[in-house]
């Protein structure tokens, strides 16, 4: 990586010209320095303390066929299916109807008691732990302590045992997590009239309470906008969903009134002019031949039913499903801004049908269908941090990354539990960026993006997340006060490891990450390395919004 240390080191700061935008100082050789004023940054929004969160897919908990990692040999399985997997290993892929089963690989149930996994996850706390996904739509809860059923009951494709769900509750408690989920809606939950029954949902809620757990928030079903792919009954439409969602809402208010009712959990709409991609573009669910129900059609039927508006977003579909994302595309403004455009799309629907309700992004990652190889590389960290920053500015209160530790988009490698680059960005976000979102007071530059929050330390402190997207040139800032700096770089965009303040960073063998050592920087000029992500905390900012 070429480090350009030219003009900003050899030329002193000069007065702002009348042609320069606010917060920008012009240097010789047409270099610019962004001057920030943390003490006067205004408040834009407030996010949940669990803003940066993650998913553990239901199929990880139960064991089953999930997206095959690229490094696996074609057609290979990670392990031979056990007896329980018998009803889950067919062409239906345990929930993903109509997708080539060769794209999946069997996995045994995840060990949520693993000490290394728990320590790595606890470092990301507090967080929401969402256990859902398309597989949850057709997973049968076996409400007894007998050995797991060898095959799912009629109308279901997977089996969740009490022991497995108790493991979820214990994991959440151990890592400062709160459970977010959804419930089964497949034909096994329905009578002859096709109407959804609450029996399975009640069994899950009752057992959760009996082992000392709670469900903080839930969607009725996963992604009702693509019902066929999620195992819904044939012909399931917006009217059927509205009917069932209202039944579920009444049930939830009675059985677990403290649980936030999220909905509808949409994915796959269309934003005019959006690039091709799963989330909102032409290459999404419709492009894969899936039935798509419009979110607005659903909301017209449900009315103001939900406590919060939830949606899912992927910028593309992965290579295994026919998509293409390159490192160059992953740094483009079009790609980085796509997530914000989709949030704006859903915010308009929210304003119409659920005015005043918060937005939750309950599932997101680099690409659907398990992610591309680059999802585990440094290049994706720019998307991830930019997404957190831009959505926080829009008031999205929670963002749940898919997944914690499965397939190529996991924050952790599923075999070694080694943190990937996005994990370190999530950790630094947690340790730097507080709940109050601030206006950085500078225009967004194509190559330099700045996001500001009150510091997690409080007491008037301000933290910045700064992305320098330029592959050749340094970025430059002028700080009015000293700061603690954590700067992420890598040997290359496709690197699976990252460099923090000049040294490669790794977790210890037991999963501990400890206190990461900050670099102290003084007020004045600050160099931002090419292709770097820098977190800065200014304790002495004295911003009144952060007291």
Give the lowest-confidence range in 247-251, 265-269, 326-330, 350-354: 265-269
What is residue 315's predicted lDDT score, i.e. its pLDDT? 92
Q: How far is CA 162 from CA 22, 59, 288, 373, in A?
A: 59, 15, 35, 35
What is residue 31's predicted lDDT score, i.e. its pLDDT? 52
Instruction: Compute the average pLDDT of residues 124-135.
Output: 97
What is residue 300's predicted lDDT score, i.e. its pLDDT? 97
| The domain defined by 7-46+438-546 carries CATH number 2.60.40.1180 | yes
284 vs 391, higher pLDDT: 391
Burial class (CB in 10 A: 0-12, 13-18, 19+), 38: buried
Percentage with pLDDT > 90 across the chain:
80
- SS3 category, 30: helix
DSSP β-bridge partners for residue 263: 309
Q: Which CATH architecture has domain 52-432?
A: Alpha-Beta Barrel (3.20)
Tell me phi and psi for residue 59, to 5 degrees: -70, -20
**Per-domain residue ranges for the chain?**
7-46+438-546, 52-432
In 240-299, at which residue ranges do the beta strands (DSSP E only) sit? Answer: 260-266
User: Quick check: pTM over 0.75?
Assistant: yes
pLDDT over 60 (residue 480): yes
The alpha carbon of 62 is separated from its chain's Cα centroid by a whole number of angstroms, namely 21
Instruction: Compute the average pLDDT of residues 442-466.
Output: 94
pLDDT over 90 (residue 87): no
Q: How far is CA 62 from CA 22, 75, 95, 125, 521, in A?
A: 54, 21, 13, 24, 48
What is residue 343's predicted lDDT score, i.e. its pLDDT? 96
What is residue 276's predicted lDDT score, i.e. its pLDDT? 46
What is residue 284's predicted lDDT score, i.e. its pLDDT? 55
Instruction: Report the Cα–Cα distance between both ends of the chain, in Å, rounded.
Output: 40
What is residue 3's predicted lDDT score, i.e. its pLDDT? 35
Whose tokens are 């919060």? That residue is 308
How confident is residue 443, by pLDDT bands cut at 50, 70 and 90?
confident
d(CA 258, CA 374): 39
């Amino acid at each position: 990586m070429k480090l350009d240390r030219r003009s900003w080191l050899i030329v002193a700061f000069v007065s702002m010209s009348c042609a320069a935008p606010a917060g920008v100082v012009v240097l010789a050789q047409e270099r610019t320095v962004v001057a920030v004023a943390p003490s006067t940054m205004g408040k834009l929004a407030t996010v949940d303390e669990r803003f940066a969160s993650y998913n553990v897919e239901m199929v990880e908990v139960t064991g089953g066929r999930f997206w095959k990692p690229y490094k696996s040999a074609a057609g290979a399985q990670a392990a031979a299916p056990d007896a329980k997997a018998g009803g889950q290993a067919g062409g239906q892929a345990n929930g993903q109807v109509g997708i080539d089963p060769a794209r999946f690989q069997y996995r045994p149930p995840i060990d949520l008691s693993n000490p290394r996994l728990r320590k790595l996850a606890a470092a990301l706390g507090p967080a929401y732990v969402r256990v859902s996904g398309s597989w949850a739509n057709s997973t049968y809860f076996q409400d007894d302590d007998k050995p797991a059923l060898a095959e799912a009951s009629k109308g279901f494709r997977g089996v969740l045992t009490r022991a497995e769900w108790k493991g979820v509750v214990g994991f959440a408690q151990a890592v400062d997590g709160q459970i977010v989920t959804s419930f089964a809606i497949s034909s096994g939950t329905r009578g002859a009239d096709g109407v959804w029954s609450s029996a399975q949902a009640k069994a899950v809620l009752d057992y959760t309470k009996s082992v000392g757990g709670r469900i903080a928030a839930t969607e009725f079903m996963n992604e009702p906008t693509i019902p066929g792919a999620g195992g819904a009954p044939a012909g399931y439409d917006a009217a059927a969903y509205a009917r069932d969602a209202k039944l579920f809402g009444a049930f939830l208010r009675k059985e677990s009134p403290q649980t936030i009712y999220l909905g509808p959990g949409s994915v796959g709409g269309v934003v005019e002019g959006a690039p091709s991609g799963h989330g909102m573009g032409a290459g999404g669910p419709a492009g894969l031949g899936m039935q798509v129900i419009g979110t607005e059609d659903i909301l017209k039927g449900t009315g103001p039913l939900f406590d919060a508006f939830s949606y899912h977003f992927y910028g593309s579909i992965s290579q295994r499903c026919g998509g293409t994302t390159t490192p160059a595309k992953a740094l483009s403004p079009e790609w980085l801004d796509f997530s914000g455009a989709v949030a704006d799309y859903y915010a308009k629907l929210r304003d119409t049908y659920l005015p005043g309700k918060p937005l939750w992004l309950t599932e997101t990652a680099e690409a659907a269908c398990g992610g591309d190889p680059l999802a585990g590389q440094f290049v994706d960290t720019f998307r991830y941090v930019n997404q957190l920053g831009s959505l926080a500015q829009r008031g999205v209160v929670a963002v749940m990354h898919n997944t914690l530790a499965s397939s190529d988009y996991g924050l952790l490698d599923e075999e070694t539990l080694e943190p990937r680059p996005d994990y370190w960005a999530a950790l630094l976000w947690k340790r730097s960026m507080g709940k109050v979102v601030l206006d950085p007071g500078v225009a967004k530059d194509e190559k330099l993006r700045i996001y500001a929050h009150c510091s997690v330390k409080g007491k008037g402190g301000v933290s910045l997340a700064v992305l320098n997207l330029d592959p050749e040139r340094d970025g430059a800032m002028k700080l009015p006060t000293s700061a603690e700096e954590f700067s992420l770089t890598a040997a290359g965009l496709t690197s699976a490891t990252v460099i923090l303040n000049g040294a490669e960073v790794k977790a210890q063998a037991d999963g501990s990450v400890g206190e990461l050592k900050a670099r102290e920087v003084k007020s004045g000029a600050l160099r931002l390395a090419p292709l770097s992500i820098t977190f800065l905390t200014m304790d002495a900012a004295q911003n009144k919004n952060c007291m």
